[in-house]
Amino acid sequence: MGRQAISVDLCIHFAQLNSTLSASSPAATLRLRVFTAHLESSRDGADYRKAQLRQVWSKMSLLESATSKFASTELQHIPQASIFCGDLNLRDSEVRELGGLPNGISDVWEASGSRPELRVTWDPVRNSNAGRFSKYVPKKSQSQGCRYDRMYWCGKRLRAVDFGLHGLERVPRCSCFPSDHWGILGRFVAS
């Protein structure tokens, strides 16, 4: 359907944020590539979605292997870590079918403790936007929703410390939520 991942490279200068770091210290700068995508939707799009996911995971893994292969002088422009997040429309079974997460890539929700109350990002019972456009609406007693929105990271200089959901309240003076999915937010510590 023409859904491609996009990315942006960021250079974070910690010396400007933390006066105790020297600007010449190797730890003073982190080069980070952030990917996002809205992967193929619906159960019928599973094969295409898995191919899209495999492609981004491959790019993340290549960055990770590049940082361990080259000398630090050759790495001036290569990102040292990467994050991939978005509406991936992903099912747990599809990750298993791909053989699980590739070595070096981690799931932020899992690494942050897999809190059950933060698992579901598309919830047609609690979020009327999701229920409005879905044929699938579970009963209140059933498991609610799916974890379609995910965040992965790769790179030894990052460690996930928190994962949260956003957009859980209706927009003031409107009768709807900001989206049919809850927003996701990951917090990391860099070294």
The residues that are catalytic are 87
On whether the CB atoms of residues 129 and 179 are closer than 8 A, the answer is yes
Phi-psi region of 183 (alpha: psi -120 to 50; beta: other; left: phi over 0): beta
Q: Kindly state the DSSP code that residue 23 receives in the 8-state scheme.
A: T
Give the 3-state secondary structure of residue 135. coil
Burial (Cβ within 10 Å: 0-12, 13-18, ≥19) of residue 162? middle
Helix segments in 70-173, DSSP class H? 92-97, 108-111, 128-132
Q: Kindly state the DSSP code that residue 18 receives in the 8-state scheme.
A: -
**Nearest Cα to 39, choosing from 105, 102, 86?**
86
**Nearest Cα to 90, choosing from 33, 133, 55, 38?**
38
On whether the CB atoms of residues 61 and 154 are closer than 8 A, the answer is yes
